[in-house]
Amino acid sequence: MQELIYGLHDRPPVKESLFAGFQHLMAILVAIATPPLIISSALNFDASTTAFLVSMAFFASGIATFVQCRRVGPVGTGMLCIEGTSFSFIGPIITIGAIGGLPMIFGCCIMAALVEVVISRLLKYTRRIITPLVSGIVVTLIGLCLLKVGITACGGGAAARTDGTFGSLPHLALAGLVIVTILIFQCSGNRFLRMGSIFIGLVVGFVAACFMGMVNLDSVSSFGGVNIPVPLKYGLKFDISGIIALGLIFMITAIEAYGDITANSMISGEPVEGDIFIKRAQAGVLGDGCNSIMSGLLCAFPNSIFAQNNGMIQLTGVASRYVGYYVAGFLVLLGLFPAVGVAFSLIPTAVLGGATLLMFGTVAAAGVRIIASHDIDRKATLVIALSFATGLGVELQPEILSQLPETLRNIFASGITTGGLTAIVTNVVIRLKE
């Protein structure tokens, strides 16, 4: 690891802080905007709703990042931890949205986030249940189950199904162009081009779509003005099956956050064990949960600590938490201006599909790496096999749940939930028999 230029409590000059903050912003910009875009496309929201959800994703991420970096009371790590909209929740949110729309999505997200709040107080115990093997299985399932969403977007999404153009050559060509562009820049020797490859791919795809006449400017009423956040704009509804499904993801997110905080502490030259570290980790996981509740109130989807920013700290040698204030400021400003959300909402579904297909594949690959880090003996093989069989099984054949009561059907409709619960229960049962 390179020597740090600025440590956790150092205050870099404004110019250097702005530059370091802007680099962090470029690493997360697309990742924050993508989940609301995917969810909006899957649920066929109109352009104005999509733009507002993207804007609120930036705004909520800015507040969440400030809380993590500043530490407000017992909430937040007090480190350079950047928060953003999490990909992990996309599958269950789409399922819930199809049942009860945005009110039910935000109601379930707010209630389920309490799971992570509770886990933050019981962190050392939950880590014995949600082991690296279980986490790896769930992360892999998240990526694999979302591939269906990504490939549907490549074909043009719900709108293309309606107008009969789904899977047409223009849609597939755009998705392919984005994928090829990202791969080219990923192979670049310049690390900044590699980090910006997804953003560049989307820009190239968007420009190509403009030339092909596939960008619909008629849906835009205005690029101007200021977005005033409206808490509970869409109201709240609650559904026990949706809360349970999202609660499982919050359990896994809590353990992932613990890992990200550990990596951040190590890179920042801070302790990774002892009382100071444990308090910091608990405060960070608590911050994740509280920030997700705040996000739901602001009509944004759940937030979590972004792992990619740990790599940025290592690249720049700047671990100062004060840089996080600048990142938070950038994100809040992006959320306040409707033009940002509108610009992202104009991206054709096929262009977004090319980028998300790679992203989801990367998520699945990350899960495989976590599993591979575990000693895969006969019992671990059984846990993996049964979890993938049930999780992918309900995704491939959802009719298998048709005879169950509605509440159970809604809980197990997501392969992530079904496979994740199977992994937790099977892993515990096998351990009890050891």
Q: How sure is the predictor about 384, in pLDDT bands with cuts at 50, 70 and 90?
A: very high
**Could you state, in order of their start, the residue ranges of all structural domains in the chain?**
14-220+234-429
Q: What is the DSSP string of 133-178?
A: HHHHHHHHHHHHHHHHHHHHHHTTHHHHHHHT-TT-HHHHHHHHHH
Comparing 127-136, 252-261, 393-402, which segment has the lowest mean pLDDT?
127-136
Q: Which token pair is 139?
A: 């992360």
Is there a contact between 291 and 83 (Cβ–Cβ < 8 Å)? yes
pLDDT digits (tens, 9 = 90+) for 172-197: 999 999 999 999 988 887 767 776 78
Task: Give the span between the Cα atoms of 36 and 384, in whole angstroms.
Answer: 30
pLDDT of residue 267: 83
pLDDT surpassing 70 at residue 2: no
Task: Give the span between the Cα atoms of 301 and 295, in whole angstroms.
Answer: 6
- pLDDT mean over 20-33: 83
pLDDT surpassing 80 at residue 312: no
Is there a contact between 75 and 287 (Cβ–Cβ < 8 Å)? yes
Q: Rank 248-262, 282-296, 338-352, 356-370 by mean pLDDT and report only the highest.
A: 282-296
pLDDT of residue 206: 92
| Average pLDDT of the chain, as a whole number | 87
Task: Give the span between the Cα atoms of 331 and 22, in whole angstroms.
Answer: 10
pLDDT of residue 417: 84
pLDDT of residue 1: 43
Is there a contact between 88 and 34 (Cβ–Cβ < 8 Å)? no
Q: What is the DSSP string of 235-298?
A: -----HHHHHHHHHHHHHHHHHHHHHHHHHHHHTT--SSSHHHHHHHHHHHHHHHHHHHHHHHT
Distances (CA, A) of 314 to 17, 246, 265: 15, 32, 11
Q: Which token pair is 182?
A: 């990202």
Task: Give the span between the Cα atoms of 220 and 340, in whole angstroms.
Answer: 12
CA dihedral 113, 115, 116, 118 (to 10 degrees): 130
- Name 367's Cβ contacts closer than 8 Å, sequence gap at least 6: 136, 137, 138, 139, 140, 141, 142, 143
CA angle 228/231/233 to nearest 5° reads 90
The residue length of the chain stands at 434
Task: Give the span between the Cα atoms of 412 and 305, in whole angstroms.
Answer: 27
pLDDT of residue 233: 94
Q: For residue 301, which of 129, 58, 80, 76 has the smallest C-alpha distance?
A: 58
CA angle 235/238/239 to nearest 5° reads 145
pLDDT of residue 221: 59
pLDDT digits (tens, 9 = 90+) for 327-379: 999 999 999 988 888 888 888 889 988 988 888 888 788 788 888 887 888 88
pLDDT digits (tens, 9 = 90+) for 45-103: 988 899 899 999 999 999 999 999 999 999 999 999 999 988 889 889 999 999 999 99
pLDDT of residue 110: 97
First to last CA, the chain: 39
Is there a contact between 179 and 357 (Cβ–Cβ < 8 Å)? yes
pLDDT of residue 391: 92
Comparing 33-47, 66-80, 208-222, which segment has the lowest mean pLDDT?
208-222
Q: How sure is the predictor about 128, in pLDDT bands with cuts at 50, 70 and 90?
A: confident
Task: Give the span between the Cα atoms of 357 and 336, in whole angstroms.
Answer: 29
pLDDT surpassing 50 at residue 247: yes
Count of Cβ atoms closer than 10 Å to residue 15 Cβ: 8
Portion of the chain with pLDDT greater than 70, in percent: 96
- pLDDT mean over 18-44: 86
Q: Which token pair is 281?
A: 């980790």
Q: Write the Ramachandran bin of 357: left for phi over 0, alpha for psi from -120 to 50, otherwise beta.
A: alpha
Task: Give the span between the Cα atoms of 108 and 93, in whole angstroms.
Answer: 9
Task: Give the span between the Cα atoms of 25 and 367, in whole angstroms.
Answer: 25
Q: Which token pair is 19?
A: 């530059």
Q: Rank 138-152, 189-203, 279-293 by mean pLDDT and report only the highest.
A: 279-293
Beta strands 83-85; 303-305: pairing state: antiparallel
Is there a contact between 313 and 27 (Cβ–Cβ < 8 Å)? no
- pLDDT mean over 124-151: 82
Residue 77, exposed/middle/buried by CB under 10 A (0-12, 13-18, 19+)?
buried
Is there a contact between 72 and 294 (Cβ–Cβ < 8 Å)? no
319 phi and psi, to 5 degrees?
Answer: -110, 10
Q: For residue 309, which of 29, 2, 10, 7 has the smallest C-alpha distance?
A: 29
- pLDDT mean over 209-218: 84
Q: Give the DSSP H/E element, type plus range, for residue 64.
A: helix 47-70
